[in-house]
Amino acid sequence: MISRRYLRVKTFQALYAYFQSEDQNMKKAENELFLSLERMYDLYLFFLALGRELTHQSELKMEEAKNKRLPSADDLNPNRKFVDNAIFKLLAENSALNAQLKDKKISWSADQELVGKFLTFLRQHEVYTNYMSTRETSFEEDQKLVVDIYKKVIPDFELMLAELQDKSIYWGFDEIDFVLSMVIKTIKKFSTKSNSFDPILSLYTDYEDDVQMVKDLFRKTIANDDKNAKLIGEKTKNWDVERIALVDVILMKMALTELLHFKAVPVKVTLNEYIELAKWFSSPQSNVFLNGILDKLVAELKQSGELKKIGRGLLE
């Protein structure tokens, strides 16, 4: 589920917090890093469980309408297209998802009011009204609806975004945005051949490799802090070091750590990744600044023989 780029993002955030902290407790910071990744996966599961709550509350509303004193024809013969949505059914019956939800004790049971408010918001949204304009359906239409709920409706429902952030310090806007993209990816993988045994995304693409990468990048960036700071200082003599943003400094230190200690990662991959992260987290011109400094460092480290790559890392 989590790409190498996003692992770098979370590691950067952990390092930023570490260097800003007074005690600089590396073990505590590393534990927080992995906990933040676990909590992101919890949010992924939480979002996947939303469909069953929406269809359940919709069923209850239909029953209430049928039992009105003077029910209309639509009340007595409601459009069941939403509650019978094929994707929601696949998710509700998915054995891997249900096992994870049970094991982690994740549910919307304590958030029924929020679900109800979201359902009201959804029923007024064009995504829903367009879908419900007919009673006929298809798997593709069902799938599109669910994708659009996560892509267009949830991001517009500010109350849910605020409530999620209140529920966990690890569920910020960036995390919610990323997790929603992973939920959409999961939904798009379903097909007419899908059943309750279809897999859902796991937290790590390759558990051992991904965990080791995060640990090494985090620990070695800290362990080589003085050395990396000296290398950066030599290439920024014309700059007021105190005025170089901490974000840029940490990104350069991470890049140097990866260049020197991740032998199987190509130089170009490392440079591209950290230039991209600079675009995300720093000022508009930071990526140009980082690119210039890192290019000089790469040339110097190659000349001195310190920068050595093996296997896939030799690719240019």
Is residue 30 within 8 A of residue 22, CB to CB? The reply is: no
Question: If you ran DSSP here, which 8-state letter would residue 39 be given?
Answer: H
pLDDT value of position 68: 85
pLDDT value of position 242: 62
pLDDT value of position 240: 61
Residues of the chain with pLDDT below 50 are: none
pLDDT value of position 19: 96
Tens-digit pLDDT profile for residues 200-223: 999 999 999 999 999 999 999 999
29-33 contact pairs (CB < 8 A, 24+): 29/218, 30/215, 30/218, 30/219, 33/214, 33/218
Class of the CATH-defined domain 224-314: mainly alpha
Write down the domain spans for the chain: 29-189, 224-314
H, E, C per residue of 121-188? HHHCCHHHHHHCCCCCCCHHHHHHHHHHHHHHHHHHCHHHHHHHHHHCCCCCHHHHHHHHHHHHHHHH
On the CB side of 6, CA atoms within 13 Å amount to 18
Give Cα separations from 249 to 105, 226, 235, 274 (angstroms): 40, 12, 12, 11
Query: Containing H/E element for 293?
Result: helix 286-304
Tens-digit pLDDT profile for residues 28-76: 999 999 999 999 999 999 999 999 999 999 999 999 888 888 888 877 8
pLDDT value of position 241: 59
pLDDT value of position 202: 96
